[in-house]
Structures are given as C-alpha cells and as structure tokens.
Amino acid sequence: MKHKYTIKQILTENQAWWKFLEKHKGKLRKSIIVAIVKLLSCKNIVRGFQEYQCSNKNCSHIKRVFFTCKSKGCSSCGKKQTSTWIETQKSILPDTSWQHITFTMPDVFWDFFWYNRDLLNHIAKLAAECVQSIANKKNLTPGIFIAIHTFGRDLKRNVHIHLSVTLGGLSINHTKWVKLFFSNKLLMTQWKYKIINMFRQEYQQSALIIPNKIKQQLNHTFTFENFLNEQYNKHWHVHCAKPTNTQKQNIEYLGRYIKRPPIAESRLKHYDGNNVVFQYLDHKTKSLRKKSMSVEEFIGRFVSHIPDIGFRMIRYYGFLSNRLRGKLLPTVRQLLQQKVPEINAAPSYVQLMIQNFNVNPLECTLCGNLMRLSAMVFGITNPNKLLTFHRELALLKKI
C-alpha cells in the first residue's frame, strides 16, 4: 500500500517545525506562526469535536469527528475551501465565454516582493488595468477575477497573476453585451510598462528595498534605472489560454489555484525525517520531475508563501467589483438571458468524503447502520489562545 505523507507529519516528526522556529524565530512573520499553529491544531482535541453514536441500540460504537483549522497552510482544509469557493462562484458568475490569462515577470523581480510585501497589493490592480484598458477603448465593462500567486510548482519564489475575464462586456449605456478579444502582445506591453513604472515610482520615493543580489550589480554606470530598462527590453510571458464556453469550466480551472496551500499532499513522495521528496510538473520539459531537499529548506519554502493576515488572494474588478456587482450583475444576466442561479450550499464533511473517497463517514463500521450526532464539544479556535499551546502542538505533547 502506498504511504501517504502529510504536511503536519513533516512539521512534527523529529520536532522539525519547533527546531525551525527556534532557529528563525526573529525572521518569521506573525501570519506564518498563526497559520502553522492552526494547521498543527487541525483535527486535534484542542479544537473540539462532534460525537456520533450508532443508531442501532444493540451497537455501542461511538465516533468522534474533530474540528478542522481552515488554515491557509492546510492541504485538507484548502481542498474543502476550494470546493466551497467553486460552488459560490457558480452562483455568482455569469454563464458566458471566459478567458484565463497568466501574467508573469522576470525572475529578478521576485525577491523584491519578499523585501517589499506591500507591492503584492498593487499587482492585481495593474493586471486588471491591462485588460480594462483594451475593454475601455470599446467602451465596455467586462467581469474580472484575479488570484495572486507567489510560488511555482517547485516551491520557488514565482510572483505571478492568474486572471479570468469575460470575453464580452457591458456597453457604456448598459443596454448591450458586446464580444471582446485580447492580444498577448498588447497585454504584455502594457503589463511590462505598469510593473516597471511601479518599481520606478517606489524607488524614486525611496520606498523600495533592493535585494542585495541586485544592489551588488548597481554602480554609477549601471544604475537602477538601467536595470529597469534592461528588464523592460526582455520578453515577458503573458499567456492567454484557450477560451472556455462556460463559467463552470473556467471556475473549476482557476479553482485549483485559489485556496490551496503551496503544495498538495498528493505530491509528497517520500519523507525519512531528514529529507523531503516531492513531485512537480516542469513547465519547460512538460514532464514530471522529483525534487529532494532538507526538511529545513522545505519548511522554509513552504511557510514563505503563507500570505499576511488579512491579505486578499482573490480580487474582483469590472462589473464583478464590490462597488458595481449589485448594480450591474443583474443587467448582465438579463442581457445574456440568464436567470439568477440557485445558491448551492457548501459541500458538507459527509458529501466531501463520499465524493473524494467513496466512503460515508457516518456509516457505522461495526454494523453498517447510520451514526447520529449525540454530543458536541467546543474547543479553542481563537488563534491567539491557540498560540499558548504552540509548543505542545508542535512537539505532540498532551494538552
């Protein structure tokens, strides 16, 4: 039987996370600490549980289902949140043609976002503006939603944007739905200009921290402006995927990038307490590769991609923006001759277990009868209170 490795196992075995924390404590953002403590508490008795009892009076079987953490670093919780997000979007987004566009930048810029984390707040808007500028020339308002990503499949830094846009928009007087098309070349030119200009303005305002690797290259003959010009003259990859005919295809495609942590546990292939081996798809060769690294390096890469507390990984623009959605979305549906879709309830724990593993968790393992909720015990969910049990959770001590 194939062994399944988990992020929690990697963090707790041989006290890996606690050792990492002690070594790098002064360098870790609070959001990292909070996310990892929540992850360590996932399905732990400290969070509380639901107790189920077999409905068969002659069966004494009792089962406890422990509460989950909903941490941004938790793979299992991320899967559930992704399913919930997908169902919610299906009831919001209009059923029309969509296009997925990926905006990347040269790798020399990636480190800048680790030294200047506030810049991550700007790039979604810049990507949206590239798309909107094309739509604005036709006096159209499209619907746009964006996911901000900081990692590649090998867990390296790779700051990029996943954007989905309707291949149509509302006319300026909101009476027509007009088709739209987007050009890779035009989007790339605009994206390059906006990103370069963002760095230039930050530098001119003395608000930009330059990574040492770049700073060492600069001198009176090769200034930061020269560096920016050099990057502008390169080819930047902006990819317009093949359009999808329905919002369902688009949502499920982008859903893979939304709520999940930097690496899915299914990609973890080996862990011996010292080294982690995981699998990833190499974009250049289009083949699966395996990468091995020390547990300390793995944890360092993993936690570095945990977003700041309150940071919105998903942003909406155009007629999907919070400001315009209530007013324009009904008009969009009317022009597309679509009814307001029913809001589907988020999939329950039982539904997810049946869908993903073909197992009904409320079926008694002893007699096959239905398990019924008999008690509910509430534990600690407040992150600040959970932090008081950080050591016990990390070292698997009794609480």
pLDDT digits (tens, 9 = 90+) for 255-303: 666 667 888 888 999 999 999 999 998 878 888 999 999 999 999 999 9
Supply the range of the domain harboring residue 223.
93-262+310-335
Distance CA 145, CA 247 (A): 12
Residue 68 domain flag: no
Upper half-sphere CA count for residue 103 (Cβ side, 13 Å): 28
φ/ψ of residue 34, rounded to 5: -60, -45
Residue 151 domain flag: yes
The pLDDT mean for the chain works out to 91
Per residue in 302-351, pLDDT (tens digit) is: 999 999 998 998 999 999 999 999 999 999 999 999 887 776 666 777 88
Nearest C-alpha neighbor of 307 from the set 110, 77, 109, 114: 114
Pair of tokens at residue 142 = 């499209």
Residue 214 domain flag: yes
Residue 275 domain flag: no
Instruction: Report in angstroms the alpha-carbon separations of 336 from 83, 114, 134.
Output: 26, 43, 22
Pair of tokens at residue 240 = 């317009």
* Number of domains, the chain: 1
Sheet holding 168-171, edge to edge: 140-141, 168-171, 177-179
Residue 292 domain flag: no
Distance CA 316, CA 305 (A): 22
Helices (H), 233-363: 247-258, 295-304, 325-335, 349-357
Residue 257 domain flag: yes
In the structure, what pLDDT confidence band is assigned to residue 27 with cuts at 50, 70 and 90?
Answer: very high
Residue 378 domain flag: no
332 and 94 Cβ atoms separated by less than 8 Å: yes
Distance CA 170, CA 143 (A): 9
Distance CA 241, CA 318 (A): 20
Q: Which of the residue ranges 46-55, 281-290, 359-368, 379-388 would you say has the lowest mean pLDDT? A: 281-290
304 and 25 Cβ atoms separated by less than 8 Å: no
CATH number, residue 127: 3.40.1310
Residue 140 domain flag: yes
What pLDDT, on a 0 to 100 scale, did the predictor assign at position 95?
A: 87
